[in-house]
Structure 1
């Protein structure tokens, strides 16, 4: 059953979304569930062991991490945490959720990932921290929950490619019959389109055949970054701008039902890719 109505109820909160706001809960949780279903048994045990320690080590009671589903949204949840003096202790991680790679220029991560401040660099860093048994327990737990979230972020195309428009946040959008003023291009791909894709057809949360896992999880984090960047070019902006992704952005775009129908398989595949690639990285880091 589609979650479009609860998603619309949450749109007002997403209206002020920055490029770091990602996939809402449903997309991230589904990526995490796919990964859990496809990791090796010993990896699953290691994940559960780390998450059992997470409540005490992270000390973020308003942002629980007891399960992989909860852990998948921790990196967004902590953005709301404030100290008594009004400071946000996790602001340092703001730029880790995305990478500003212009879809109308050659693909290049050098400048967007300067000083490691982009999602792909943080994914690689988290894997290294998890693989190193000398990493302090708190840092390993934090690396795990960041990794679970960031792989989902990378597969939301507007976290991998954009047009100097805050990942589509500056472009208002009408989604099908929903002409709410709170939607923008980014929030459409975060919420209603992702949820429609996830709830269309057979469940994405299942054990995939080994050949499928190998095919989808092939490549490197850089390869996956380029692929998501291309999805932003070929599908996100092309569909919104009448076929020319590099045309000037209008203030508002409309995705009609025919366009949405064409985008559902694209969004569905991105969630599937995110889950199986997260499983691969977790196996590499924890098995």
Structure 2
């Protein structure tokens, strides 16, 4: 006979926490762990000595006190800090594609709950020397992660398919898992196209660092967070971005992975610009 005993108080607490985690609206990940580390490493290479020194002071005491070491902290919140993970879930994305990629704060970012407003708000906290070290460190962690997020096109894409999460695809060589499909377009852009390169971080970083930073009509890049989101969204509207069939053709990856890598490069460039300004001496 099975011995069924009442749950202990500690077991009930663990069970309740697990149920809470399952009930939380989980933010879609952007770039996956490697992509976020690469954006952070590219930014570090572009930071001034003064900004690096400030960042190093803030990161002291972290398990991995580097920008790449904290780059995925915001995605890990849903497991490590469910309350903050829930409150910040909408900070990872914005839906602009239904509006032809034109940002309107009142329509697209109510109560500041979107990646555009979150980057700006967390950057302001980071730059505020009157804030505590813990507040500024948390802001740094959000800024490093969310600037990576905003450069993933599907984090500024359509609401109706949850940024490509509902666009199911079958990738050759991978087992089908759900309804005949094994993945989705969002996951492909997050990590699968990058992991297909089979590059470790140092080798991939060296390759990304050689990519010239693009300009727009020779006039430089958008300097504001909303402009970054709008440009990311425009990629998701380009012909061919959404595969014509749900069985992924090999040429899709060869066509679009270079675009993803340019976005990583831009993410690193913009993150360096933001950190250099926010951590400038006397700022």
**Alpha-carbon distance between aligned partners in 2 of 1:202 and 1:74, rounded to the nearest angstrom:** 20
Q: CA deviation at 1:46?
A: 1.0
Structure 1 gaps, min length 5? 1-15, 56-63, 243-251
**Alpha-carbon distance between aligned partners in 2 of 1:171 and 1:101, rounded to the nearest angstrom:** 17
Distance 1:74 1:106, change over 3 A: closer
Conserved 8 A contact 1:95-1:118: yes
Match of 1:170 among 166, 170, 176: 166
Conserved 8 A contact 1:34-1:272: yes
1:133 matched to 2:129? The reply is yes
1:77 aligns with 76
Conserved 8 A contact 2:41-2:205: no
SS of match in other structure, 2:238: helix
1:227 matched to 2:220? The reply is no
Conserved 8 A contact 1:217-1:280: no
1:30 aligns with 38
1:66 aligns with 65
1:286 matched to 2:279? The reply is yes
Q: CA deviation at 1:103?
A: 4.2
Q: CA deviation at 1:183?
A: 1.0
Structure 2 gaps, min length 5? 1-23
1:239 aligns with 241
Distance 1:172 1:216, change over 3 A: farther
1:52 matched to 2:51? The reply is no
2:14 aligns with none
2:140 aligns with 144
Q: CA deviation at 1:104?
A: 5.9
**Alpha-carbon distance between aligned partners in 1 of 2:220 and 2:109, rounded to the nearest angstrom:** 24
Q: CA deviation at 1:216?
A: 6.4
Decide which structure has the larger Cα Rg and report it: 2
TM-score with structure 2 setting the length: 0.77
TM-score with structure 1 setting the length: 0.76
1:259 aligns with 252
**Alpha-carbon distance between aligned partners in 2 of 1:156 and 1:68, rounded to the nearest angstrom:** 19
**Alpha-carbon distance between aligned partners in 1 of 2:211 and 2:52, rounded to the nearest angstrom:** 16
1:191-230 correspondence runs (5 A): 191-196=191-196, 199=199, 203-204=206-207, 206=209, 218-230=222-234
1:94 matched to 2:96? The reply is no
Conserved 8 A contact 2:40-2:71: yes
Cα-to-partner distance string for 1:106-148 (whole Å, 9 max, x where unaligned): 5223222111100111111122112221122211111100000
Q: CA deviation at 1:198?
A: 8.8
- Count of residue pairs the alignment pairs up: 247
Conserved 8 A contact 1:126-1:144: yes
Cα-to-partner distance string for 1:205-236 (whole Å, 9 max, x where unaligned): 54888998x9765521111111000011116x
SS of match in other structure, 2:108: coil
